[in-house]
Structures are given as structure tokens and as C-alpha cells.
């Protein structure tokens, strides 16, 4: 029977360089419900603000159950590993489906292990990861379902009348981001990994609250310091970026997160409104956004200094608007000089950095209309 794989030609080429052959596409799913009592409990907890533990637990259980079923299917195909693993959440007829999908890989002529590794990176990223000296252990998740809460919301709303940071909002966003990071690190420790790489961060609405989700690959590298076994290094750099950094003598140290929530204030909002009628700069907004940006990046700089980082690289900044509030978030990876952690090959093959062209293009609205008609 022909192999049915989700791996592209570029991925297959890169994996073959590491002795890996493509295998079957595998998936695992779970359909669950929060339940009436869980929903009521979550509602009361949401009034107070902070983490909604019932929702966090339900989502985490669903994601992990789907992943466990994916691994069970990979074992039936005698896979050595599964790459490109995803963790999706879909609403379906009032319930929630958790879905994990990935593609098996094999070492020909080798006996399959009792537990195949899993990786969030695709085949190209897996090549870069292995070539940089990392051994993949498992796909890992850290999540937090949270609410600002009525109490915090009311108090925060009153503070929005004045210009400046709304610390109540900053605190809750910073806390949820770092809690998700702590949980993905805890999963890596359980897999005896000393690093979590390729971390992707998402914030998604979920039934009146938000889920902060981090996914990545737990891995091990012999060149990391012994302390990493207790506190694994973390990075949101792509595996290609990590390979490039290793080639110039740097290693990841820690994923850095900084959030600042600011309000223009009542007087500033009114002034900005009238200024927006005429052409020209709205200085109130300019200075507020600049101040929020400096604050968020300053949080990264302070944390990097505290842990002894040499630099923070790959900084990405995001601005979200919530009515009169502006959230400014900065994310980057702190790095440390490590000239001994060089990749195995002197240059990356071009297939490792080529991006596959999307050959399925459809307008979702038109597609839905055609089905309904």
C-alpha cells in the first residue's frame, strides 16, 4: 500500500539527510464538554479574575488526550517519531473537538522504540534541530484559561480615566504568559529534556474567556549546562534561527515576555478625538504608544540582565486595542555565548529554508455558500 504522508518534498529531502524516511499521516482527537457544573464554577471564578482552573483543566485534558491517541496510532505504524504535530481546538455542535495531526518518520533497518518522539517542528525544522545537536523528546503544551474579572475590570475601568499604565491589566496578562511558560517547562522536565525549542504562543477566545497557549518541542543537548536539567532553556526562535545562532557561537537561554497595558485617559481621548478631525500627528497617541513600547521592552531587558544573558534576539512586538486601552507585548529569546555548540554541518541545505507553495486556494465564504446551495 502507498504511504500517505503530510511531509512535503523539501521535508522528505532534509529528513533523508539524517537517515529518516517518511511515514504515515497520523491523528488523534477527542470531543469533550465543559459540563453544566463546570460552566457554573468557571463563571463564578471568572467574576474574580485570573485563571479559570476548570476551563484550563478541561482544555489541557482534551489536548493531551488527542496527543496520546496520535502517539498510539504512530506506534501501530512502528514509527520512530512524529513530526509537524499540531494541537487544534474546534467548536462542534456545542462541544469542543481537540485534534492533533502529524506525520510519522522512520529509521529504516532499526527497531522502533517503545515510545516514538514527537515534535512540533516540520521536517525541515527537525533537520535543523538534529543538526544543531538536539535530540527531540516530545511535543509539549503549556496553557492557561483566564479572565480579567469583573472586580479587576471595574477597578481598571476607573483607572482608565487617567493617562498611563493600568497595572491591574498588565499584571494579569504578564501572569498568564509566564504561567503558560512554566507549565510547558514542567512538561519538558517530565520527559527528561533540558530545552524547549520552537515555542509558538497564541491567545484565543474560548467561551467568554481567553486561552493562553504555548506549544513547542522538548529536546536534549549534551552541550547545555547541568542546571538546564532542572530549569530547561526555552526559545521561540525557529529551528533554522537556532541553527544559525549556533553556527556563530550562541545558544538559547530563556524565552522573554513583557506586557504593558496603557490608557490614554479621558482627557487624552477627548483631545485625540478632536485632533483626529484635522490632518497631522496626534501627539497624545504617539507618546502613549512610545511609552508603552519602551516599558514592555524594558521588562525584557531587566529580566535578561537578571539571568545573565548576553543578548535578546528575535524580539517581536504586538499591539492590541481594547476600547480605550492599548496592550503592548514584547517577546524575544535571551541568548548566551556558547562557541562549543556548533552544528554538525557547515551550511544549511537550501531545502531546509525553502517554503512550500500553497496549492489549495479557496474562499471560505464562497465555499460555504456552494455547500449550502
- The CA distance from 326 to 309, in Å, is 29
Please give the full DSSP string across 4-38, using - where no structure is assigned.
-----HHHHHHHHHTT-EEEEEEEEEEEE---HHH
**Contact of 331 with 236, CB cutoff 8 Å:** yes
Q: For the chain, which residues make up each domain, given as ranges?
A: 9-340
Q: Where are the alpha helices (DSSP H) in 191-265?
A: 239-247
Q: Angle at CA 214, nearest 5°, toward 353 and 120?
A: 40
Of 310, 342, 349, 314, which is closest to residue 330 (Cα–Cα)? 314
pLDDT at 279: 55
Locate the DSSP E strands across the chain.
21-32, 50-51, 81-83, 88-92, 95-106, 117-118, 135-147, 164-165, 195-206, 209-220, 233-234, 250-263, 311-322, 325-337
- The CA distance from 367 to 358, in Å, is 17
pLDDT at 37: 40
- Summarised one tens digit per residue, pLDDT across range 64-120 is 999 999 999 999 999 999 999 999 998 877 788 999 999 999 999 899 999 999 999
- Summarised one tens digit per residue, pLDDT across range 171-192 is 877 888 899 999 999 999 999 9
C-alpha cell at 323: 476600547
Residue whose C-alpha cell is 512554566: 182
According to DSSP, the β-strands at 88-92 and 95-106 are antiparallel
**Contact of 129 with 93, CB cutoff 8 Å:** no
Of 159, 188, 165, 327, which is closest to residue 257 (Cα–Cα)? 327
The segments of the chain whose pLDDT lies below 70 read: 34-49, 148-164, 264-285, 322-324, 363-373
| Dihedral over Cα of 42, 44, 47, 53: its sign | negative
Amino acid at each position: 500500500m502507498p504511504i500517505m504522508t503530510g511531509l512535503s518534498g523539501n521535508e522528505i529531502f532534509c529528513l533523508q539527510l539524517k537517515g529518516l524516511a517518511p511515514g504515515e499521516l497520523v491523528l488523534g482527537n477527542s470531543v469533550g464538554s465543559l459540563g453544566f457544573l463546570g460552566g457554573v464554577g468557571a463563571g463564578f471564578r471568572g467574576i474574580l479574575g485570573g485563571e479559570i482552573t476548570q476551563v484550563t483543566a478541561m482544555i489541557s485534558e482534551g489536548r493531551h488526550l488527542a496527543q496520546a491517541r496520535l502517539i498510539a496510532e504512530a506506534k501501530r505504524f512502528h514509527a520512530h517519531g512524529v513530526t509537524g504535530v499540531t494541537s487544534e481546538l474546534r467548536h462542534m455542535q456545542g462541544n469542543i473537538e481537540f485534534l492533533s495531526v502529524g506525520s510519522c518518520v522512520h529509521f529504516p533497518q532499526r527497531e522502533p522504540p517503545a515510545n516514538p518522539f514527537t515534535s512540533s517542528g516540520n521536517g525541515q525544522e527537525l533537520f535543523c534541530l538534529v543538526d544543531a545537536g538536539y535530540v527531540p523528546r516530545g511535543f509539549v503544551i503549556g496553557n492557561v484559561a483566564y479572565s480579567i474579572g469583573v472586580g479587576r475590570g471595574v477597578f481598571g475601568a476607573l483607572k482608565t480615566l487617567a493617562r498611563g499604565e493600568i497595572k491591574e491589566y498588565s499584571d494579569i496578562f504578564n501572569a498568564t504568559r509566564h504561567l503558560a511558560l512554566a507549565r510547558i517547562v514542567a512538561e519538558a522536565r517530565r520527559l527528561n529534556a533540558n530545552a524547549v525549542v520552537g515555542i509558538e504562543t497564541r491567545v484565543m477566545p474560548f467561551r467568554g474567556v481567553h486561552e493562553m497557549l504555548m506549544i513547542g518541542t522538548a529536546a536534549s543537548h549534551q552541550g547545555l549546562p547541568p542546571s538546564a536539567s532542572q530549569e530547561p532553556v526555552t526559545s521561540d526562535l525557529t529551528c533554522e534561527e537556532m541553527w544559525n545562532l549556533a553556527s556563530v557561537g550562541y545558544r538559547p537561554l530563556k524565552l522573554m515576555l513583557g506586557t504593558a497595558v496603557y490608557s490614554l485617559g479621558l482627557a487624552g481621548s477627548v483631545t485625540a478625538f478632536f485632533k483626529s478631525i484635522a490632518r497631522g500627528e496626534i501627539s497624545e497617541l504617539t507618546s502613549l504608544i512610545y511609552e508603552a513600547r519602551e516599558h514592555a521592552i524594558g521588562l525584557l531587558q531587566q529580566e535578561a540582565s537578571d539571568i545573565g544573558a548576553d543578548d535578546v534576539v528575535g524580539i517581536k512586538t504586538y499591539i492590541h486595542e481594547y476600547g480605550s486601552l492599548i496592550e503592548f507585548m514584547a517577546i524575544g529569546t535571551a541568548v548566551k555565548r556558547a562557541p562549543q555548540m556548533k552544528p554538525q554541518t557547515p551550511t544549511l541545505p537550501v531545502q531546509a529554508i525553502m517554503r512550500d507553495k500553497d496549492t489549495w486556494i479557496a474562499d471560505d465564504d464562497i465555499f460555504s455558500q456552494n455547500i449550502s446551495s
